[in-house]
């Protein structure tokens, strides 16, 4: 390089192609710069609604993922024993023939013997459709081990939840509470939003045992003890109720707070709403004293009602809620020691919430009309917002904790108002408008409906007449009735145990179940390789699709190699997990900005082909020929309902229709021309009060989010939960098994009641006095980051962080190693001290520890010798109670994996690597990465 010109203007690239990132689940828009047909540089797309030009470390390192040495190159057939990593490359025709040979007989005789689970899939509306057409009830993605508590509590309470369902009103909020949020899926929007708040001087409060990342920049930090957030939130509600700092007008108009609940002890309908002949819930009109349907125009709903109707006592839902939360159980002084937070700080936070909500209200001068026809002059906002994620949801009391958080938001009147928490289309949508689960398999037939849904009562469970589970993961059974995302973490364990039945083929996509995505990793590997008395594998066939040589690859019999995210078609669909904003509906595509240089196919294209070979309905024409050429063809031409397809933009023959319209063969080109996404802004009058705003409801119908207006009120009191609780009390025909009655009575309270996490009550707290957690580094996405030459240099080894109290009590010193023991297992790990940490909590980064030989890394890479998983300490089952039952380590309501219930003890270990348990290295089907990377040389 000679001395550069004073104002150099080198050419940047030959061409920029705009697509959607897939370095995590955030789905930002990216500009991919190409030079000579090769990917040169990736930056954020400034026009994109998700990231508005910025891009995180993962996104910026996309080129190294695209060029990863761990990329699979061709379909693979296992040649060595399962778990060895020994394979031979085969052709796609051979691969399809093997898969077809296993799957066709299953479909014809017992479709449920296929279990198809799709991990961190972003195409669930498609993979779910395929599984439905095949006819197996055994389909879900990874929500059950991720954040179903957050999603389900949101749907049952508000008709939507956080992340892709909703967001804080970043522009207007004055106070943001973050509960249990480390790095989130909504990675860049949260960072952009926090930056906006900081710039405006708005306050951010972090409630988290660990003060990293977002919590590090929070103005105030509550280092709460894990699993106690429900108590903490309860104490805030206690304070607000005690002081009368709740939004009565909002509660009366927009929630079921005035609904009349049967309060007659022992009555058959105790705990259910008083309804009219049409089934509509009744409230008392304070003006007339009459009982009227809750949606009667001009009504003054009585929030304090306590009356006798036909001799039976009925009370308003709000008064029952007040009874529950005004109890001394939730007094700040009572919860303080359990939560590890001083009572005075809880009181001060409640006062701050009340002050900002009620004394700093904001007004948007925008008239609007509600669904009853009442015109409002302006939009009044309570500028308090909240966001939460896995920290509060990955507990066995997580569902009710998430519900309690939503109740706190509702009481403050801060949902769907300016400055508060706002939904993103197609949410909110009342729980009644969501599907119910379906699970009836019939030979040669598609399933009787969509797999996943939201039960409203015991009649919606997927159990047979004997109460036996229809699904392999036991979703929608009495063990976890509202398991809306399934229980991926139970599939291998249940299939191995033959409980509730044996399966033939396990078909997984993008889920590293032989490593970091399973609880109880070592035993999971043993289950995958276990043989029966004939020497046959207990799980006879395993098909896996992944783009990279992950740990799970070694445990499959047949590998369908996926592409990288720059080589594939995808749609980020309104039918699925869209990229909408609070002010707009939006969807997006991925498209092959470069063609693969290996014999690989996008997994969805492989499924299209497999579906056609198997003759699945919806995948073949009447004459039996393939209906779709590939996934791109499906994206454009599939119609879910007439005029509604995977993509909402540029529909109709001329491409001018939005939302509704006939398929447009030119649709993908239009997306590409527009930077890979489509966006439709919500009219001004429709932007807030979405569940009750007539203009929003009309707009939503117009663009096809739903087919008829569906206004609804928020559920302070959750009647569906009460229906399960009643059954546990002995009411109704569908009864839980005896051993679950007590637990359902406790966990299904229609008003959230905190109970201690299950592991805590199952183990001796003196033997295992500490909590142990993981957080995801901002520059890694689960297992994917370590194959990335740039990202792994930021973190390739990690330590277990110990709070000062534990560090000093055990006499640890820098460089020490420790044994960490739970009721389930023991690991040996390097440790370090951290003071910005709850005093009873240990933690480490997840996503770093790797199995030797995986990911094209050197077997002596620090990820393998010093990296580790906490998973070995976490059982998918709770410790045995001596009752012969297998109790899942999951939330009793939703089945969410209770990762964060973990209790441990820690003691000094002999220093030095390797971490334990250590496993023999895997053979690598792709070899190892090069010694030196000089990326960029080819462009000089």
Partner 1 sequence: MTSLPTTTERKLGLVIDLDTCVGCHACVVACKGWNTVADDGAPLSDVDAYGPDPVGTFLNRVHSFEVTPDDGGAARVVHFPRSCLHCEDAPCVTVCPTGASFKRAEDGIVLVNEDDCMGCGLCAWACPYGARELDLAAGVMKKCTLCVDRIYNENLPDADRVPACVRTCPAGARHFGDLGDPESEVSRLVAARDGMALMPECGTKPVNRYLPPRPRDVTSDERLDDAAEGSDRPSGFLGWLDRMLEAL
Interface with partner 1 in residues 476-535 (CB under 8 A) = none
Return the residue of 860, 881, 907, 911 that touches partner 1, per CB under 8 A: 860
Residue 757, classed as helix, strand or coil, is coil
Q: Which stretch binds partner 1 (CB under 8 A): 371-379, 843-851, 872-880, 926-934?
A: 926-934
Minimal distance, residue 314 CB to partner 1, in Å: 15
According to CB under 8 A, which one of 111, 135, 213, 419 is a site residue for partner 1?
A: 213
Nearer to partner 1, 286 or 745 (CB): 286
Q: Which of residues 220, 269, 360, 805 is near partner 1 by CB under 8 A?
A: 220
| Binds partner 1 (CB under 8 A): choice among 172, 211, 314, 387 | 211
Among 516, 517, 775, 787, binds partner 1 (CB under 8 A): 787
Which runs of E-coded beta strand occur in 45-191? 76-78, 87-89, 114-117, 139-140, 166-168, 175-179
Q: State the DSSP H helix or E strand holding residue 702, giving kind and residue range, or none if neither.
A: helix 694-702
What's the rounded Cα separation, in Å, for the pair 179 and 302?
Answer: 33
Question: Residues 21, 61, 553, 616: which binds partner 1 (CB under 8 A)?
Answer: 61
For the chain, the C-alpha Rg in angstroms (whole number) is 27
Among 379, 514, 718, 791, binds partner 1 (CB under 8 A): 791
**Nearest approach, Cβ of 333 to partner 1 (angstroms)?**
12
Q: How far is the CB of 774 from partner 1 (least distance, A)?
A: 17
Nearer CB in complex with partner 1: 461/800: 800
Contact status: 858 vs partner 1 (CB under 8 A):
yes
Widest Cα–Cα separation across the chain? 95
| Binding region for partner 1 (CB under 8 A) out of 239-247, 378-386, 643-651, 738-746 | 239-247
Taking the CB of residue 737, how many other CB atoms lie within 10 A of it? 12
Following DSSP, what letter does each residue of 409-438 receive, concatenated? HHHTT-BSSTTSEEE-TT----GGGSPPP-
How many residues does this entry show for the chain? 940
Residues in contact with 685: Cβ distance below 8 Å, sequence separation at least 6, in sequence order: 366, 367, 368, 369, 693, 695
Structure tokens at 384: 């308090």
* Alpha-carbon span 747 to 750, nearest angstrom: 9
The CA distances from residue 814 to 40, 332, 764, in Å, are 42, 38, 30
Q: What is the pairing mode between strands 29-35 and 38-44?
A: antiparallel
Can you tell me which residue has the tokens 């958080």? Answer: 405
Instruction: Report CA-CA distances (Å) from 121 to 467, 508, 570.
Output: 31, 10, 11
Give alpha helix (H) positions in 289-331. Answer: 317-325
11 vs 811 by CB, closer to partner 1: 11
Q: Which stretch binds partner 1 (CB under 8 A): 171-179, 235-243, 543-551, 610-618?
A: 235-243
Residue 145 DSSP one-character state = G
Q: Which is nearer to partner 1, 325 or 427 (CB)?
A: 325
Listed ranges 83-91, 619-627, 675-683, 856-864: which one lies at the site for partner 1 (CB under 8 A): 856-864
Please tell me whether residue 642 binds partner 1 under the rule CB under 8 A.
no
Among 6, 465, 536, 708, binds partner 1 (CB under 8 A): 6
410 near partner 1 (CB under 8 A): no
Q: Are 805 and 796 in contact (CB under 8 A)?
A: no
Please report whether residue 1 would count as binding partner 1 according to CB under 8 A: yes
Indicate which single residue of 221, 515, 634, 671 sits in contact with partner 1 (rule: CB under 8 A).
221
Picking from 678, 631, 629, 788, the residue whose alpha carbon sits closest to that of residue 60 is 788
Angle at the Cα of 84 from the Cα atoms of 115 and 505, rounded to 5 degrees: 15
Q: Is 464 in the site for partner 1 (CB under 8 A)?
A: no
CB 118 within 8 A of CB 485: no
- In the complex with partner 1, which residue's Cβ is closer, 815 or 936? 936
> Scanning residues 264 to 303, which ones bind partner 1 (CB under 8 A)?
286, 300, 302-303
Taking CB under 8 A as the criterion, the residue among 127, 187, 658, 846 binding partner 1 is 187
Q: How far is the CB of 437 from partner 1 (least distance, A)?
A: 38
Say whether residue 16 binds partner 1 (CB under 8 A). Answer: no
Query: Mask of contacts with partner 1, 835-854, x by CB under 8 A?
Result: xxx-----------------
| Binding residue for partner 1, selected from 9, 310, 730, 811, defined by CB under 8 A | 9
Using CB under 8 A, which residues numbered 327 to 356 contact partner 1? 344-345, 347-348, 350-352, 354-355
Residues numbered 29 to 58 that lie near partner 1 (CB under 8 A) are 35, 40-44, 46, 51, 53-58
User: Least Å distance between CB 681 and partner 1?
Assistant: 22
- From CA 642, how far away is CA 630, in angstroms rounded? 21
> DSSP H helical segments within 218-300, as ranges?
229-242, 248-254
Contact flag: residue 242 with partner 1 (CB under 8 A) = yes
Segment near partner 1 (CB under 8 A); pick from 90-98, 158-166, 485-493, 927-935: 927-935
Single residue of 78, 120, 174, 191 touching partner 1 by CB under 8 A: 191
Q: Which of 196, 338, 366, 369 binds partner 1 (CB under 8 A)?
A: 196
Strand-pair category, 558-561 with 570-572 = unpaired
Report whether 854 contacts 792 (CB < 8 A): no
Closest to partner 1 by CB, 789 or 906: 789
CA distance 562 to 568: 9
Out of 30, 32, 50, 63, which residue is the one contacting partner 1 (CB under 8 A)?
63
Size of the site for partner 1 (CB under 8 A): 113
- CB nearer partner 1, residue 377 or residue 835: 835
Cis peptide before 619 (omega within 30 of 0): no
The answer to the question of residue 939 lying near partner 1 (CB under 8 A) is: yes
- Beta-strand ranges (E) seen in 736-840 are 770-775, 800-803, 817-821, 826-834
For partner 1, the closer CB: 60 or 483: 60
């Amino acid at each position: 390089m000679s001395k550069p010109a004073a104002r150099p203007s080198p050419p940047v690239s030959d061409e920029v192609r705009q697509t959607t990132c897939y370095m995590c689940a955030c789905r930002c828009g990216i500009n991919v710069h190409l030079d000579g047909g090769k990917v040169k540089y990736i930056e954020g797309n400034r026009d994109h609604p998700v990231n508005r030009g910025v891009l995180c470390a993962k996104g910026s390192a996309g080129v190294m993922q695209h060029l990863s040495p761990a990329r699979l190159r061709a379909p693979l057939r296992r040649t060595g024993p399962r778990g060895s990593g020994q394979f031979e490359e085969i052709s796609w025709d051979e691969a399809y023939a093997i898969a077809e040979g296993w799957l066709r007989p299953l479909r014809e005789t017992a479709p449920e013997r296929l279990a198809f689970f799709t991990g961190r899939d972003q195409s669930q509306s498609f993979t779910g459709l395929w599984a439905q057409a095949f006819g197996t009830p055994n389909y879900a993605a990874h929500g059950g081990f991720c954040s179903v508590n957050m999603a389900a509590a949101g749907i049952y309470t508000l008709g939507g939840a956080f992340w892709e369902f909703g967001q804080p009103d970043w522009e207007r909020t004055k106070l943001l509470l973050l509960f249990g949020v480390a790095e989130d899926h909504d990675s860049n929007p949260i960072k952009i939003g926090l930056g906006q708040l900081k710039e405006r001087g708005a306050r951010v409060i972090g409630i988290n045992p660990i003060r990293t990342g977002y919590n590090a920049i929070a103005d105030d930090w509550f280092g709460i003890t894990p699993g106690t957030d429900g108590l903490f939130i309860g104490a805030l509600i206690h304070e607000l109720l005690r002081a009368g700092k709740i939004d009565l007008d909002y509660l009366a108009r927009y929630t079921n707070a005035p609904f009349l609940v049967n309060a007659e002890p022992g009555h058959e309908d105790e705990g259910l709403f008083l309804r009219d002949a049409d089934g509509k819930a009744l409230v008392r009109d304070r003006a007339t004293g009459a009982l009227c349907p809750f949606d009667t125009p001009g009504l003054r709903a009585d929030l304090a009602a306590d009356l006798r109707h036909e001799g039976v006592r009925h009370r308003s839902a709000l008064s029952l809620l007040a009874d529950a939360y005004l109890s001394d159980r939730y007094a700040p002084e009572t919860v303080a020691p359990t939560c590890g937070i001083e009572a005075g700080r809880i009181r001060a936070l409640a006062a701050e919430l009340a002050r900002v909500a009620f004394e700093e209200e904001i007004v948007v001068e925008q008239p609007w009309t509600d669904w009853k026809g009442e015109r409002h002059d302006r939009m009044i906002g309570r500028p308090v917002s909240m966001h939460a994620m896995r920290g509060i949801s990955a507990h066995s009391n997580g569902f009710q904790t998430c519900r309690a958080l939503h109740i706190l938001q509702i009481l403050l009147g801060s949902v769907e108002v300016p400055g508060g928490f706002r939904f993103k289309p197609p949410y909110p949508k009342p729980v009644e408008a969501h599907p119910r689960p379906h699970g009836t398999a019939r030979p040669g037939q598609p399933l009787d409906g969509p797999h996943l849904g939201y039960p409203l009562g015991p009649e919606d469970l997927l159990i047979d007449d004997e109460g036996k589970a229809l699904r392999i993961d036991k979703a929608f059974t009495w063990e976890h009735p509202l398991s809306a995302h399934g229980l991926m973490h139970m599939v291998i364990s249940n299939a191995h145990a033959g409980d509730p039945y044996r399966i033939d083929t396990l078909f997984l996509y993008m889920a590293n179940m032989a490593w970091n995505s399973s609880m109880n990793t070592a035993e999971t590997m043993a289950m995958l390789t276990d043989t029966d008395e004939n020497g046959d594998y207990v799980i006879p066939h395993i098909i896996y699709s992944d783009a990279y040589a992950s740990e799970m690859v070694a445990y499959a019999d047949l590998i369908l190699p996926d592409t990288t995210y720059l080589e594939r078609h995808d749609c980020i669909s309104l039918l699925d997990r869209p990229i909408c904003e609070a002010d707009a509906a939006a969807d997006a595509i991925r498209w092959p900005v470069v063609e693969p240089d290996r014999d690989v196919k996008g997994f969805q294209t492989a499924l299209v082909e497999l579906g056609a070979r198997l003759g699945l309905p919806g995948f073949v024409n009447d004459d039996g020929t393939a209906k779709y050429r590939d996934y791109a063809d499906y994206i454009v031409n599939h119609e879910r309902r007439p005029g509604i397809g995977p993509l909402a933009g540029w529909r109709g023959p001329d491409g001018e229709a939005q939302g509704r319209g006939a398929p447009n063969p030119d649709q993908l080109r239009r997306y590409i021309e527009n930077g890979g996404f489509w966006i439709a802004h919500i009219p001004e009058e429709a932007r807030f009060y979405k569940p009750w705003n007539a203009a929003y409801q009309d707009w939503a119908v117009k663009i096809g989010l739903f087919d008829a207006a569906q206004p609804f009120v928020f559920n302070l009191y959750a009647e569906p939960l009460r229906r399960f609780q009643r059954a546990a009390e002995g009411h109704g025909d569908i009864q839980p098994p005896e051993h679950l009655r007590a637990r359902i009575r406790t966990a299904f309270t229609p008003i959230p009641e905190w109970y201690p996490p299950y592991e805590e009550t199952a183990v001796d707290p003196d033997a295992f006095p500490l909590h142990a957690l993981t957080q995801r580094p901002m520059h890694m996405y689960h297992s994917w980051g370590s194959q990335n030459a740039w990202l792994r240099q930021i973190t390739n080894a990690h330590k277990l962080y110990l709070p000062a109290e534990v560090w000093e009590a055990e006499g640890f010193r820098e460089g020490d190693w420790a044994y960490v023991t739970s009721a389930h297992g023991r690991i040996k790990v390097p440790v370090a001290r951290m003071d910005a940490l709850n005093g009873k909590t240990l933690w480490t980064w997840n996503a770093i520890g790797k199995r030797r030989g995986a990911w094209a890394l050197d077997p002596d890479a620090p990820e393998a010798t010093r990296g580790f998983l906490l998973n070995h300490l976490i059982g998918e089952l709770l410790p045995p109670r001596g009752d012969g039952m297998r109790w899942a380590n999951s939330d009793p309501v939703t089945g969410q994996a209770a990762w964060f219930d973990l209790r441990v003890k820690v003691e000094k270990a002999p220093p030095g690597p390797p971490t334990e348990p250590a496993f023999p290295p895997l053979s690598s089907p792709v070899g190892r990465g090069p010694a030196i990377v000089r990326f960029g040389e080819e462009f000089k």
